[in-house]
Amino acid sequence: MLMFYGKPPLKWAAYHGNLDNVELLIAKGAKQDQIDSDGCTPLAVAAKRGKLDVVKYLISNKADVCKFGVNGKPPLNYAAVEGRSSVVEYLITEEANLNEIDSSGNTALACAVIGKHMSI
């Protein structure tokens, strides 16, 4: 698989919210749960960046909503710490575990507080 700065193309497409490229790469066999050099899955990256359309597409194609990256955080915690409320709400509807504790000992709620996003 071609990598760019240690990251697969699907990660870059998710990072930038480019749904057309995400769809194309998955159609061509890109691995949705591949962990990149930062320890993140494409779903975690899209969640962190608030790219809801990409998050929805990845989940509709069976991306694991609870998969921890190497750094020990699930997508829900990334979205919560960044204040991505629409992504947080969607991940919860897709059965992300609200009580999951990441490697820092935080739940999604604690991550929201750390990020100063009290509305979450």
Sorted by where each starts, the structural domains of the chain and their CATH numbers stand as 9-114 (1.25.40.20)
Separation of alpha carbons 109 and 102, rounded Å: 11
Contact 109, 93 (CB under 8 A): no
- Confidence class for position 10, pLDDT limits 50, 70, 90: very high
Per-residue pLDDT reduced to its tens digit, 42-100: 999 999 999 999 999 999 999 999 998 777 899 999 999 999 999 999 999 999 999 99
Could you say which DSSP state residue 82 is in? Answer: T
Taking the mean position of all CA atoms in its chain, how far away is CA 107? 15
Report the predicted TM-score, pTM, of the whole model to 2 decimal places: 0.90
User: Residue 6 corresponds to which tokens in the numbers above?
Assistant: 């240690």
Contact 9, 28 (CB under 8 A): no
User: Residue 54 corresponds to which tokens in the numbers above?
Assistant: 């990409």
